[in-house]
Chains A and B, each alone.
Chain A
Amino acid sequence: MADFDQELDASGLNCPLPILRAKKTLAGMESGQVLHIIATDPGSVKDFDAFAKQTGNELMESREDGGKFLFLIKKS
């Protein structure tokens, strides 16, 4: 997995909290920086895809690893 600047552990949280926390964390980051998000909500896979499409932040990676859903989002 590529390098990242910040990490957000949204494990155990359900819709819409992972998205809201990610949005909040991204707000405090600089353009071009990468956020690593860990989630356990299966719905977050489609949600982060939609989030990236609608906010213009790039979803660089989206994968599952042992029941966890991992995302890399680059701030636009």
Chain B
Amino acid sequence: MEEKKLAIIATKGSLDWAYPPFILASTAAALGYEVQVFFTFYGLQLLKKKLTLEVTPLGNPGMPMPMGMDKWFPILGMALPGMQAMMTAMMKKKMKDKGVASVEELRDLCQEAEVQLIACQMTVDLFDMDRKDFIDGVEYAGAAAFFEFAGESDICLYI
């Protein structure tokens, strides 16, 4: 069976958006795909050693709120101090209760399965990020390098 290729561009740095790239990459790797994930802009947050990812209900009408809170405190309630931390804690608890893996666990599984995690060098420079803050095993490259792989890929996703 010829090896298929999956290319993913991860651009978002919130807790909820951290899942799709790592879930799809690790699953594809388990199915025998060769996988590369290119992390650019806010997606680079997903490569930090210490993840401080959060979810925010602000400006996100699709986010389910406990006890219909959003109906009682529309917009203004979502902007209250501490609301983001609370929603992040609730989301993490729900995921744990439902047997959903943590982002760290999925990321480890990706690395174990030899998914190539590539940090966009331009964004690293742009935001004055320090390579020391990123996990080991990350490669640093530009868009052209990614296209080399993406051009040969069977599936290419922008997340």
Contact = CB atoms under 8 A, between A and B. Distances in A.
Interface of A: 12-17, 19-20, 22-23, 40-41, 50-51, 54-56
Q: In this complex, which of A20, A41, A51 has the most chain B Cβ atoms within 10 angstroms of its Cβ?
A: A20
B88 to A, nearest CB: 19
Contact of A54 (B26, B32, B98, B113): B32
B9 interface: no
B89 interface: no
Contact of A14 (B100, B109, B113): B100
Given A17-B99, A54-B31, 13 more contacts: A13-B99, A14-B98, A16-B30, A17-B101, A19-B27, A20-B30, A23-B30, A23-B113, A50-B31, A51-B30, A51-B31, A54-B32, A55-B31
A55 B4 CA distance: 11
Interface residues of B, dominant DSSP: loop
Contacts of B91: none
B83 interface: no
Contacts of A51: 30-31
Chain B's interface size range is 10 to 19
B99 A14 contact: yes
23 contacts: A14-B99, A14-B101, A15-B23, A15-B27, A16-B26, A16-B27, A16-B30, A17-B99, A17-B101, A19-B27, A19-B30, A20-B27, A20-B30, A20-B109, A23-B113, A41-B99, A50-B31, A51-B30, A51-B31, A54-B32, A55-B30, A55-B32, A56-B1
